[in-house]
Amino acid sequence: MARIVMKFGGTSVADLSRIRHAARHVEREIKAGHQVAVVVSAMAGATNQLVEWCAEASPLHDAREYDAVVSTGEQVTAGLMAIVLQSMGITARSFSGWQVPIKTSDVHGAARITDIDATELNKRLDDGQVCVVTGFQGISPANRITTLGRGGSDTSAVAVAAAISADRCEIYTDVDGVYTTDPRIAPKAQRMVRVSFEEMLEMASLGAKVLQTRSVELAMAKHVRLAVRSSFDDPDAPQMAPDGSDTGVPGTLVCDEDEIMEEQIVSGVTLAKAEAKITLRGVKDHPGVAAAVFGALAAEHIVVDMIVQNVSDDGKVTDITFTLPDKEYDKAVKALENAGDGLEYSRIVGAKGGAKISVVGVGMRSHAGVASSMFKALADKGINIQLITTSEIKTSVLIDEEYAELAVRALHTYYGLDRQDA
């Protein structure tokens, strides 16, 4: 007997027929004698609609009320999933975040889970009941509903898995695993049978939205066995890994590096669009300037990404360039214009509409030349690189959004990741 958390994303619960199909995956595990906690997202598109209504009601809406509104999508699907399971003869009960309770910080719209009291869930699971928990939401110290940030149901699922000491956490979605790049962009992308936590963490944070970054972080920290698989599969098909190995799931297992036999130099290519770039020209070259620039942005909760600063020629002035999401661009420019003391520069220039392309692989730790070959592959396609950043296991470049898909496909081919039969 195992304990399993099964999370179903938006497209997997998009309507009643999809919920019924998802419920058959749950039924399979129950029939096999396992204990199951289900975590659900809102129906596909529901959260977007709720977000839009808040913005229409007032562009500067209260974050607490935003959470009160956008958390409701998950409550609908949790209830419907419990009803469907009951109609199949399976004992099931739904739980909202506050009923578990899933305790979080009070950062509305981007709360972090601080604690889950699993007493009630454990009791019911031991009694053979399926607990259906709303993803994406929790409760703040002030007893207000919070949400965890877009895509947050993945994190709810991993947190529940850790709290109930589940044997594994399965993320059911509309693709049958984690691919070498987004299969919607590169049809030749290959499914990975296993991917290391570290690579998955980089891929998620660099744009592969198949898992929310925080969920991977949490799974790594709490040693949760995490798998990505398709809810669209036949629930009664054999539960075999694609290569016949014993991962236990037909999709992708996210696991420790030492469980992976063959390390690739580059394992995946990711894309993040809508990246803006801002350059401060003629910044005074003395201590404290960078702190003043990024302090002014941090005060507005603006998260910046790639940062480049050069040594000045004359020791007097230099340029600082950084990237941030397009939607934060106007706010950032305003924050810099209003920053006042300690921030001396001659002018601000910038543009929206960039794309960040990254290549990721643990093998990069021990192989030189990945960055240079990446630049060459892009140059061969006539793609200009605007900014570059690297870490131990990834190299990222900022390019014009127009060339984003071309760049992803070119790099995917260049690093030998294309499926041979495609």
Q: How far apart are CA 109 and CA 248, in angstroms?
A: 35
d(CA 240, CA 47): 33
Instruction: Number of residues interacting with ligand ADP: please give it, by CB under 6 A.
Output: 19
Cis peptide before 101 (omega within 30 of 0): yes
Residue among 88, 91, 184, 316 that touches ligand ADP (CB under 6 A): 184
Q: Of 73, 138, 151, 350, which one interacts with ligand ADP (CB under 6 A)?
A: 151
Binding-site string for ligand ASP from residue 137 to residue 156, where x marks contact by CB under 6 A and - marks none = -------------xxxxx--
**Distance of alpha carbon 293 from alpha carbon 341, whole angstroms:** 11
Residue 113's SS3 state is strand
Give yes or no for residue 209 binding ligand ADP (CB under 6 A).
yes
Pick what 175 binds: ligand ADP, Mg ion, ligand ASP, none; C-beta below 5 to 8 Å, kind-dependent: ligand ADP
Q: How many residues bind ligand ASP (CB under 6 A)?
A: 13
Distances (CA, A) of 404 to 48, 94, 313, 378: 25, 42, 33, 11
Shortest Å, Cβ 30 to ligand ADP: 22
Binding at 184: pick from ligand ADP, ligand ASP, Mg ion, none (beta carbon under 5-8 Å per type): ligand ADP
Q: Is 250 in the site for ligand ASP (CB under 6 A)?
A: no
Name the residue type at position 112.
R
Radius of gyration of the chain (CA): 23
Residues 289-348 that bind ligand ADP (CB under 6 A): none
**Residue placing its CB nearer to ligand ADP in the complex, 273 or 281:** 273
Of the pair 160, 266, the CB lying nearest ligand ASP is at: 160
Is residue 215 a contact residue for ligand ADP (CB under 6 A)?
no
Query: How far from chain centre, in Å, is Cα 53?
Result: 24
What the block records as the tokens of 187 is 């049809």
Short-list 15, 76, 25, 19, CA closest to 230: 25
Which positions lie near ligand ADP, rule CB under 6 A?
9-12, 41, 151, 173-175, 178-179, 181-184, 208-210, 268
Which positions lie near Mg ion, rule CB under 5 A?
9, 151
